[in-house]
Amino acid sequence: MAEINEFVPFRFKVSLYHSDSNKLLCAGYFSEVTGFELSMDPKVIKEGGRNWGEHQRSGPTKFAPIILKRGVTSVNDLWNWFDITTRQSYYGYRLSGEITVLGNPTASPIQGNAKGAHAGQTVTDNPVMVWKLTGVLPIKFKGPDLTATANQVAIEELQLVHEGLELQRPAPASA
Protein backbone atom coordinates (compact mmCIF):
# COMPACT_ATOMS: atom_id res chain seq x y z
CA MET A 1 0.00 0.00 0.00
CA ALA A 2 1.35 3.44 -0.93
CA GLU A 3 2.24 5.80 1.87
CA ILE A 4 0.35 9.09 1.83
CA ASN A 5 2.63 12.09 2.27
CA GLU A 6 0.87 15.15 3.57
CA PHE A 7 2.49 18.52 3.40
CA VAL A 8 2.16 21.55 5.59
CA PRO A 9 1.35 24.75 3.68
CA PHE A 10 3.97 26.90 5.40
CA ARG A 11 7.05 24.98 4.30
CA PHE A 12 8.03 26.01 0.80
CA LYS A 13 10.92 27.59 -1.06
CA VAL A 14 10.92 29.77 -4.17
CA SER A 15 13.83 29.88 -6.63
CA LEU A 16 14.03 32.17 -9.68
CA TYR A 17 16.86 31.75 -12.15
CA HIS A 18 17.94 32.83 -15.61
CA SER A 19 16.41 30.54 -18.22
CA ASP A 20 19.52 30.23 -20.39
CA SER A 21 22.33 29.97 -17.82
CA ASN A 22 20.51 28.61 -14.73
CA LYS A 23 22.18 31.44 -12.76
CA LEU A 24 20.21 31.98 -9.56
CA LEU A 25 18.58 35.40 -9.13
CA CYS A 26 16.54 34.76 -6.01
CA ALA A 27 16.08 31.82 -3.67
CA GLY A 28 14.34 31.99 -0.37
CA TYR A 29 11.40 31.33 1.81
CA PHE A 30 8.32 33.44 1.31
CA SER A 31 5.48 33.97 3.73
CA GLU A 32 2.86 33.39 1.03
CA VAL A 33 2.65 32.12 -2.55
CA THR A 34 -0.72 32.16 -4.31
CA GLY A 35 -2.02 31.77 -7.83
CA PHE A 36 -1.63 28.09 -8.64
CA GLU A 37 -4.57 28.22 -11.00
CA LEU A 38 -5.08 26.99 -14.54
CA SER A 39 -8.25 27.14 -16.56
CA MET A 40 -9.19 25.94 -20.01
CA ASP A 41 -11.96 27.45 -22.12
CA PRO A 42 -13.51 24.63 -24.16
CA LYS A 43 -14.34 25.13 -27.80
CA VAL A 44 -17.94 24.32 -28.56
CA ILE A 45 -18.69 22.79 -31.94
CA LYS A 46 -22.30 22.61 -33.04
CA GLU A 47 -23.23 19.90 -35.49
CA GLY A 48 -26.27 20.17 -37.72
CA GLY A 49 -28.83 17.45 -37.02
CA ARG A 50 -27.37 16.76 -33.55
CA ASN A 51 -30.01 18.16 -31.25
CA TRP A 52 -28.78 16.54 -28.05
CA GLY A 53 -25.76 18.57 -26.96
CA GLU A 54 -22.68 19.96 -28.60
CA HIS A 55 -19.16 18.67 -29.17
CA GLN A 56 -16.70 19.93 -26.55
CA ARG A 57 -13.04 20.28 -27.59
CA SER A 58 -10.01 21.53 -25.69
CA GLY A 59 -9.38 25.25 -25.98
CA PRO A 60 -6.56 27.51 -24.86
CA THR A 61 -5.23 27.21 -21.31
CA LYS A 62 -4.91 30.33 -19.17
CA PHE A 63 -2.62 30.74 -16.16
CA ALA A 64 -3.37 33.01 -13.20
CA PRO A 65 -0.59 35.29 -11.95
CA ILE A 66 1.61 33.87 -9.18
CA ILE A 67 1.83 36.22 -6.19
CA LEU A 68 4.88 36.09 -3.92
CA LYS A 69 4.87 37.77 -0.50
CA ARG A 70 7.76 38.00 1.92
CA GLY A 71 9.08 40.13 4.72
CA VAL A 72 11.19 43.03 3.52
CA THR A 73 14.92 42.34 3.73
CA SER A 74 18.06 44.26 2.81
CA VAL A 75 18.34 42.15 -0.38
CA ASN A 76 16.90 43.97 -3.42
CA ASP A 77 16.82 41.04 -5.87
CA LEU A 78 13.08 41.16 -6.64
CA TRP A 79 13.00 44.95 -6.93
CA ASN A 80 16.07 44.94 -9.18
CA TRP A 81 14.51 42.37 -11.52
CA PHE A 82 11.26 44.34 -11.74
CA ASP A 83 13.19 47.58 -12.27
CA ILE A 84 15.36 46.12 -15.05
CA THR A 85 12.34 44.56 -16.77
CA THR A 86 10.13 47.65 -16.72
CA ARG A 87 12.14 50.85 -16.45
CA GLN A 88 15.52 50.03 -17.94
CA SER A 89 14.14 48.92 -21.34
CA TYR A 90 14.81 45.21 -20.98
CA TYR A 91 11.12 44.56 -21.47
CA GLY A 92 10.47 40.87 -21.65
CA TYR A 93 13.44 39.78 -19.51
CA ARG A 94 12.09 36.43 -18.39
CA LEU A 95 13.22 33.91 -15.83
CA SER A 96 12.40 30.34 -14.93
CA GLY A 97 11.26 29.36 -11.48
CA GLU A 98 10.63 26.57 -9.04
CA ILE A 99 8.35 26.53 -6.04
CA THR A 100 9.24 23.58 -3.84
CA VAL A 101 6.74 22.38 -1.24
CA LEU A 102 8.55 20.70 1.64
CA GLY A 103 7.11 17.78 3.60
CA ASN A 104 8.10 16.63 7.04
CA PRO A 105 11.88 16.87 7.49
CA THR A 106 13.83 13.62 7.44
CA ALA A 107 16.74 12.75 9.70
CA SER A 108 19.92 11.30 8.26
CA PRO A 109 23.01 10.07 10.13
CA ILE A 110 26.13 12.30 10.12
CA GLN A 111 28.86 13.37 12.47
CA GLY A 112 27.78 15.98 15.00
CA ASN A 113 24.42 17.35 15.98
CA ALA A 114 22.03 19.67 14.09
CA LYS A 115 19.09 21.62 15.46
CA GLY A 116 16.07 19.34 15.80
CA ALA A 117 18.10 16.16 15.27
CA HIS A 118 19.28 13.50 17.66
CA ALA A 119 22.99 13.02 18.27
CA GLY A 120 24.64 11.87 15.06
CA GLN A 121 21.75 12.99 12.83
CA THR A 122 20.92 16.03 10.76
CA VAL A 123 17.51 17.21 9.58
CA THR A 124 17.10 17.70 5.84
CA ASP A 125 14.24 19.11 3.83
CA ASN A 126 11.97 16.60 2.16
CA PRO A 127 10.52 17.99 -1.12
CA VAL A 128 7.10 16.52 -1.91
CA MET A 129 6.05 18.78 -4.80
CA VAL A 130 7.91 21.02 -7.19
CA TRP A 131 6.01 23.51 -9.36
CA LYS A 132 8.17 24.50 -12.36
CA LEU A 133 7.42 27.85 -14.02
CA THR A 134 8.62 28.88 -17.47
CA GLY A 135 8.72 32.30 -19.08
CA VAL A 136 8.28 34.15 -15.78
CA LEU A 137 7.80 37.92 -16.08
CA PRO A 138 7.12 40.39 -13.22
CA ILE A 139 4.01 42.52 -13.73
CA LYS A 140 3.55 44.24 -10.36
CA PHE A 141 5.76 45.10 -7.41
CA LYS A 142 4.16 46.32 -4.20
CA GLY A 143 6.33 47.73 -1.43
CA PRO A 144 5.41 47.55 2.25
CA ASP A 145 2.67 49.65 3.77
CA LEU A 146 4.43 52.11 6.06
CA THR A 147 2.43 52.70 9.22
CA ALA A 148 4.10 53.95 12.38
CA THR A 149 1.47 52.32 14.60
CA ALA A 150 1.64 48.86 13.00
CA ASN A 151 3.45 46.05 14.79
CA GLN A 152 3.65 43.44 12.02
CA VAL A 153 6.53 42.67 9.66
CA ALA A 154 6.77 44.87 6.55
CA ILE A 155 5.71 42.75 3.54
CA GLU A 156 6.69 43.20 -0.10
CA GLU A 157 4.71 41.59 -2.90
CA LEU A 158 5.63 40.60 -6.45
CA GLN A 159 3.13 39.42 -9.04
CA LEU A 160 4.39 37.20 -11.83
CA VAL A 161 2.88 35.97 -15.07
CA HIS A 162 4.24 32.88 -16.73
CA GLU A 163 3.93 30.81 -19.87
CA GLY A 164 3.83 27.37 -18.32
CA LEU A 165 3.30 25.50 -15.08
CA GLU A 166 4.37 21.92 -14.49
CA LEU A 167 3.97 19.80 -11.35
CA GLN A 168 6.68 17.30 -10.50
CA ARG A 169 6.65 14.87 -7.63
CA PRO A 170 10.14 13.88 -6.46
CA ALA A 171 10.80 10.30 -5.40
CA PRO A 172 10.31 9.78 -1.65
CA ALA A 173 13.44 10.31 0.43
CA SER A 174 13.27 6.72 1.68
CA ALA A 175 13.32 5.29 -1.88
Domain CATH number, residue 164? 2.30.110.20
Radius of gyration of the chain (CA): 21
From its phi and psi, is residue 146 left (phi > 0), alpha (psi between -120 and 50) or beta?
A: beta
Has residue 174 been placed in a domain? no
Cα distances from 66 to residues 2, 20, 36, 38, 134, in angstroms, run 32, 21, 7, 11, 12
Phi and psi at residue 149, to the nearest 5°: -90, -5
Has residue 49 been placed in a domain? no
Per residue of the chain (175 residues), give pLDDT as tens: 445 555 555 678 889 888 778 888 888 888 889 999 999 999 999 888 888 889 999 999 999 999 998 877 777 777 877 887 777 666 667 889 999 988 776 666 655 445 555 555 555 677 888 999 999 988 898 888 888 887 878 888 889 999 999 999 877 655 5
Has residue 48 been placed in a domain? no
Domain hosting residue 141, numbered range? 12-39+58-168
With 0-12 CB in 10 A as exposed, 13-18 as middle and 19+ as buried, what is 166?
exposed
Has residue 3 been placed in a domain? no
| pTM score of the predicted model | 0.73
Has residue 96 been placed in a domain? yes
The count of structural domains within the chain is 1
